[in-house]
Amino acid sequence: MAEHPDSVVVRRGYEAFSQGDMETLRSLMTSDCTHHSPGSSQMSGHFKDADNVLAHFGKLMELTGGTFRVEVDGIYPDGRGHVMSTHKWYGDRGDRGIEMRGGLFFTIVGGKVTDVDECVEDIDESDAFWGQAD
């Protein structure tokens, strides 16, 4: 059974992210794509347009000294332009590390990601890990 085209987009995105391939990531998003990150840390908020979304991803790497990584658990399309993914993410920051389950809810139009809503297992722990802006 072939993988749904929307699932292919999301899987390619995870692979590109894991390889640091920002060019491929950009090609999978609309120019006005928005990423919504939960909580109240410096990594929380609404990141509008592909440049800001990619800068947000870059900051994940910057704050963790390049240790941030994601392992996909599952990718689930609804066949109507939405895909839910589940994963576990890891990172080290200063003297603390984190390992947390989470998920992303993608909206896909015309084979490109237009919107991403992020959910995490423990918002308070995520906020504590990322901290506030310096």
Q: For the chain, give every domain's residue range.
A: 5-130
Non-local (6+) Cβ contacts of 40 within 8 A are 127
Supply the pLDDT for residue 29: 98
- Burial code (b: 16+ CB inside 10 Å, e: under 16) for 43-78 equals bbeebeebeebbeebeebeebbeeebebeeeebebe
Q: What is the pLDDT of residue 133?
A: 73
* Structure confidence by residue, pLDDT tens digits, 18-51: 999 999 999 999 999 999 999 999 999 999 999 9
Q: Is the pLDDT of residue 1 over 90?
A: no
pLDDT tens across 91-130, in order? 999 999 999 999 999 999 999 999 999 999 999 999 999 9
Q: Give the pLDDT score at 2.
A: 87
For the domain with range 5-130, which CATH number is right: 3.90.550.10, 3.40.1350.10, 3.10.450.50, 3.40.390.10? 3.10.450.50
Does the pLDDT at position 134 exceed 70?
no
pTM: 0.94
